[in-house]
Structures are given as C-alpha cells and as structure tokens.
Structure 1
Amino acid sequence: MPGQRRGTAIAMSDEERDTFLRGSPVCRVATVGPGGHPHNGALWFAWDGSALWLNSLVRSQRWTEVSRDGRVSVVVDDGGFDFLRLRGVELLGRALPVGEVPRTGEPNDELRSPERLFAEKYGDFRYDGRHGWLRLRPEKIVSWDFGKLRA
C-alpha cells in the first residue's frame, strides 16, 4: 500500500489509526455516481485492522453505485472547531459485496468477525433482510492528527 507522502509529521501510527477507527461511530462513504459525479453519505462501519466493513442498505444509491463501480473514498474524522484537535483517516480502494445480498444470516465464516465487531460497537446486531456487507481493503490510507503539531 502506498505510504503517506505529505504530512508525515501529523500522520497517525498504525496503532493510533486502528484505535481511532475502532472507536469512531460514523464514516462518510464517497462513491462514483452517474456521469462520474461523487455521491457521499454517512454510514456505520467496523474496522478489523486490515479491512473496513460497511453495513449498507442494498436498495440504496450507494449499493447501486458500488455495484457498478467499486471505487470508494471513506473518511472518518473528528475534532470540531479547534484546529489542533482535528483528526481523521481517509481510506481509498474498492468496496466489494461479501455474503448473501441482502444478508439474512446464512452462516459465513468471512462475516463472523465484522459482525461481532459491529455488534460490540453499536449494540445488538440483527439481520433485517435489507442490509448487506461491503468490504474495503484499502489500497491507500492517509491520516492526520493536528494535535501532533503541539509537540
């Protein structure tokens, strides 16, 4: 995976990034829409240390666009108005469906870990027959923590 070229002084370590992603509640997923125009929406997610797992409605613009063109950019950030508190991670790559669509609970070893992580993060996880899993194995990750500028 290509490294972060600029801003290495404010880049998160792998451990900082993993802790940040595991604890952050919402990501913003940008997909490629019709005519190449971006579509962006908020979503809950789970991070397993190497892949970002997105639990998305299968009858959504996001799912349709990922099915047509899997390229995505996902941003997870926080910080508010204080510049030195701004932190975030951008993950770029291709999102691919995993498991049955929509997810109804068929046994799937590949989904055991993300579903456990998702339930631990958000509470009880239930199959509703309307959502499916998208897996993003990032081709590039960029992070920033402007609090590192204080040092």
Structure 2
Amino acid sequence: MQTTEMAHRHMLERRRDTLERLVTERDIWVSTAHPDHGPHLVPLWFLWDGRAVWMCTSATSVTARNVRTEPRVRLALPDTLDVVLLQGEAECFPSQEVPGGAAEAFADKFGWDPRTEESPFLYVRVVPKTVRAWRGERELRGRVIMRDGTWLGQQPSNSLPRSPER
C-alpha cells in the first residue's frame, strides 16, 4: 500500500479551502436521526450562502421527517482525502415560505426550482456551529476550524483569508 504525504495546512489555510469548497461543491452528505427509527444518511444538493448551508428535499422524505423531529444534523462534503464535517441545527422552510433570495440562489446554482414542482418540497437551512477540516493524519490535530458558530483564527468570519505574501 502506498501513502501520499500531504502538506500540513495552518488554520487559516484550512478555513480558506473549506469556504472555497462550500461555494464550489454540489453535493453534501446529510446525517439525521429519528428517536424511534435511528440514523439516516443521504446526499443532497446544497448551496452555501456565506453563512449557512441550504438544501432541498421532498417534504415527505425521511430527511424532512427526521429534521422536524430532531433538528440536530451533521453534514459532510464527499471527499475522504479532504474531509469537511459540519454540525448544526436544521431550520425548515416549506417551499412557499422559503426566503426568496435563498430559493433564487438555489435555483440559479442547479437550474432547478423546487418551488415549481407539483409535489411539496422543504428547504432545510443549517447554520454550522462546529466545522472540522483535515487532510490526512498530519492534520487531525487542530481540525476544528469553527467552534460555537465562530470561525477560529484572525480573519473576519465573512471574508476569505488571504494567502501570505511572499
């Protein structure tokens, strides 16, 4: 077995890379649970609005039923060599009550507007409370880059960290 050694990134680099992936990635794994039926894991399309993850699912799906009962969720981007895990509470918006800006941005990103579907859809918004990011064993230490809803490091939460000047 051959291993690939990856360079160790500092916190601001991890944060910059994580924010970039949240903007550019299309799919996110959503983990929910129901007190009687247990865990449920499903990939969904998502939109990052700079503060929260927006997803959309059928109003009758297991995910929708679970988050209505237990709003705590975990989210994961789909790359095991560049792990990004988010944790937070889901807030649900029926398609007729979703904020217009979020619905429009979602429709623009995917070329599909769930509000126009015949069957009802539910928009799910998650503002992360904790974010972990790491690439390989060397980055396990310091993998928490957001705690209690606050990005760790020196940069303001709404801006991307700049690359160090050389």
Fold in common (TM above 0.5): yes
TM-score, normalised via structure 1 length? 0.72
Matched, 1:113 2:101: yes
The change in CA–CA distance for 1:124 and 1:60 in structure 2 (over 3 A counts) is closer
CA deviation after TM superposition for structure 1 residue 18, in Å? 1.8
For 2:10 and 2:39, the matched residues in 1 are separated by 27
In the alignment, which residue of structure 2 is the partner of 1:96?
91
Is 2:140 the counterpart of 1:139?
Answer: no
Distance (Å, rounded) in 1 between the aligned partners of 2:134 and 2:49: 20
Task: Give deviations 1:98-140, integer Å, cap 9, x for gaps.
Answer: 3xx2x14x6x5xx233223322321142411421111101110
TM-score (norm 2): 0.66
The offset of 1:45, in angstroms, is 0.9
Q: Is the contact made by 1:46 and 1:53 (CA closer than 8 Å) also made in structure 2?
A: yes
RMSD: 2.5
Which has the larger helix fraction? 1
The number of residues matched between the two structures is 128
Larger Rg, first or second structure (1 or 2):
2
Determine what percentage of the aligned residue pairs are the same residue.
Answer: 25
Aligned residue number for residue 16 of structure 1:
17
Q: Specify which structure has the bigger relative contact order, considering alpha-carbon pairs within 8 angstroms and separated by 6 or more residues.
A: 1
User: What is the distance in 2 between the residues matched to 1:57 and 1:130?
Assistant: 6
Q: What is the match of residue 75 of structure 1?
A: 76
Structure 1 gap ranges (5+): 1-7, 80-85
The code of the aligned residue for 1:121 comes to K
Does structure 2 conserve the Cα–Cα contact (< 8 Å) formed by 1:53 and 1:133?
Answer: yes
Following superposition of structure 1 onto structure 2, how do residues 43-82 of structure 1 map, counting pairs within 5 Å?
A: 43-78=44-79
Bigger mean CA deviation after superposition, 115-124 or 8-17: 8-17
